[in-house]
Chains A and B, each alone.
Chain A
């Protein structure tokens, strides 16, 4: 095989790979959005926000869904139905990231990440508290 043919074959493979990769990449890209944006798009998006603790949150064992209300960064509130039980650390999370789609004014989440940074890094306040306990 001459070098020329080798190069041609190699470039064809590379180009095909890049094109396929790009299409798949765009297909699977999940953007961050607000609830308002999520309502407009019919794609899976990620919404950052906080759990509205005042409103009812419950786990439905029969359907295996956890329903709660979430407020996004723009203070829009929406009902979220998560496909699963209450996530780990949900109660203490300072931030919730829900991945899913909006349908009929409800956000159906297939994935939920909980973030609780304050718990993992101590503050001067925490030290003071041990002070008081003494």
Chain B
């Protein structure tokens, strides 16, 4: 009850809050207080209901359908907490929670002075209102008997929940989804600023105010996306960090647009240009978040993604469609309504060699890549088809090359007028350094012309940005965040080139204790170590120890496989050895039981049919059950002896053999039988199979070994692995870290800038000291 009531209160309060902000927007300033008050009620209501959900999860209240479905008592604390957002309802709750929390900070931020408060908060609250509406329709607070009224009687509390999907049971589950959702939630802020400025018909200030928020979204969302990549690479064993899966793509698209908007907004701050572009990009980034939610939550991509989706039902589908269409409509109406004033906003410089033009080119390139990903990802919606990863790779690579060129040279282009002599002088050193490094890369194996170009331009971008960053840091200034991010992206692409284009992989069948060589390493499977699943203490996992030897140095990698009791499926986790310039990546594929009898000498003999095997005519007559009852107690116990009667003729002699096998716990240990007059063959009875005529009928599996032949048999179990070498992947992760660091530095700097330009005013003192430059 409590949870649902809190959501209802939040929803009602959000309506009142909007009314207050709307009236304040219409000039009735005294209603601003009402808007703020009810906004706080909305936020606190959502936060409290989220805490309540957490509480019922932590206290294992399985009478709640959501708690029963997602969690169980045996999960360790971090994973238990993560069951909060393991399902649809909870992830909407998480989205609402972050939006509410960010909203409190936003209200605090915009109420300090003349910062478009009524307009921004009206739009922001509308988003929050929609989220609470979804939580009303898809509530995590249903009791079991409400969720399943026919099957479950009132008041029933199951002793145990169903538990968390083992694919989600690891460290990254605790941080990847929340990070993404913070990113998603925070993109509401620039959207609210953009629409707010359209409402107010005032297009200058909002950009300054939204820059730190845009940076925040960009940093967090980017980090969240790459965490997903690391999860897939290091834990799930996809073999790579990016598969162009629809779910990955759908969070990438808003991020790219967000980053594009960041660049054109910086331009507007400096020169006043690109006002329309900035409005449109900020709006688009948010609408794309909604689109992403629609793609991943509506079940529409069910067939085309590796992520498992639940069909959420018609209600959620409809709400999501309404959610997107409403906000698209609001945006369109706002733009059309203000079209007249927007049309006249043209202050861009007409010169080409200005920083302004290059920021625009960068933004356009980013948008072009967003369009590519958008088109590819949306295809399953409009037709019964998907696109292959190759489409994305081929299309984004040329864009990335031009992007790197822009990212490099634009730093040496001035805002108003670029002195071409100075420009060329500046370019000399980075070009020389890049050429040298490219040559080194070619020597160690880079060969594809397109990739050589890609590596070269990435290096140019890297050196230019690094050089400027060093100069700025030496001067004790703060504005090196952008350069850090650029260096990060350049390194990221260099890592992509190495690990994507030049990774090598091979499959190895490692029979126990017998070494095999690949990539200059000696791989030996030395046995498995069982251990208890540390996350749920339910499953026995097996670490398969593979020693890897090179130049007398030995190490052990331990990929894991186990059968999950949750899904009855085999789960596999890779293991990775990180070297400075490459990763050695081992994915377990399967464990093959020992095969003491070679495949080519094993036959399924059908009862009553004569089969020609080598130079023999073999007929399987019947089983010999001895005194045993067919399918009786003794057979059920698994400890018994069974025979197969074979009639064998080699042309000269005809003999009848009764070959027997003793079973212990159902496992056969066959003993050899031989014909009296023909000592060339050994006969083993391996197993029986009694099935309907359509499935093959009654058969006996026997092995007939030609004693004069050498067979390839394995007495030991065999571990099959996929081993790969991925060069420069550490460069890629370094790039991601630097990119994120760049965002952080920029946020700090831009926040400072705002407090200098627009000093906080105390909101309570009316017209006390309104900020004026």
Chain A residues within CB distance 8 Å of chain B: 1, 3, 6, 17, 20-21, 24-25, 27-32, 44, 46, 48, 54, 59, 61-62, 64, 84-86, 88-92, 97, 113, 115-117, 119-128, 130-131, 133-134
Contact = CB atoms under 8 A, between A and B. Distances in A.
B590 A120 contact: no
Contacts of A134: 159
A24 B391 contact: yes
A1 B590 contact: no
B368 A62 contact: no
Nearest to A126: B162
24 contacts: A1-B352, A17-B368, A21-B375, A29-B385, A30-B387, A61-B590, A62-B509, A88-B571, A88-B572, A92-B568, A97-B303, A113-B306, A115-B302, A116-B308, A117-B310, A120-B310, A122-B162, A124-B148, A125-B151, A127-B151, A127-B152, A128-B152, A130-B160, A131-B156
Given A30-B386, A130-B160, 19 more contacts: A21-B375, A24-B391, A24-B395, A25-B387, A29-B387, A30-B388, A31-B384, A46-B385, A59-B590, A61-B590, A64-B722, A84-B589, A85-B589, A92-B568, A117-B310, A119-B567, A125-B151, A126-B162, A127-B68
B570 interface: yes
Contacts of B156: 127, 131
Interface in B34-77: 65, 68-69
B312 to A, nearest CB: 9
Nearest to B599: A60
Contacts of B569: 88-92, 116
Contacts of A85: 589-590, 720
Nearest to A119: B567
A88 B237 CA distance: 11
Contacts of B311: 117
Nearest to B352: A1
B518 interface: no
Contacts of B150: 124
A28 B720 contact: no
B376 A127 contact: no
Interface string B306-325: 10111100000000000000
Nearest to B592: A61
A122 B589 CA distance: 30
Given A25-B376, A27-B391, A32 B384 contact: yes
Contacts of A121: 69, 310
Contacts of B383: 31
Contact of A3 (B350, B390, B509): B350
B718 interface: yes
Contacts of B388: 28, 30, 44
Contacts of B720: 59, 61, 64, 85
A91 B568 contact: yes
Contacts of B167: 88
Nearest to A127: B152
B391 A25 contact: yes
Interface string B475-516: 000000000000000000000000000000001010000000
A113 B305 CA distance: 8
A120 B569 CA distance: 13
Contact of A61 (B158, B391, B509, B571): B509
B372 A21 contact: yes
B379 interface: yes
Interface string B349-378: 010100000000000000010001001100
A2 to B, nearest CB: 9
Contacts of B65: 122
Interface in B373-414: 375-376, 379, 383-388, 390-391, 394-395
B385 A59 contact: no
B249 to A, nearest CB: 14
B165 interface: yes
A133 B695 CA distance: 36
A28 B387 contact: yes
B542 to A, nearest CB: 15
Nearest to A2: B350
Nearest to A113: B306
B144 interface: yes
Contacts of B391: 24-25, 27-28
Interface string B260-273: 00000000000000
Contacts of B567: 89, 92, 116, 119
A17 B369 CA distance: 11
A88 B159 CA distance: 29
Contacts of A123: 148, 151
A97 B301 CA distance: 13
A113 B380 CA distance: 15
A115 B566 CA distance: 15
Which 5 pairs across A and B sit closest by C-beta, in order of nearness? Answer: A124-B151, A124-B148, A28-B391, A85-B589, A89-B569
B686 to A, nearest CB: 15
A31 B507 CA distance: 30
Contacts of B158: 127, 130-131
Nearest to A130: B158
Contacts of B568: 91-92
Interface in B155-200: 156, 158-160, 162, 165, 167
Nearest to A133: B159
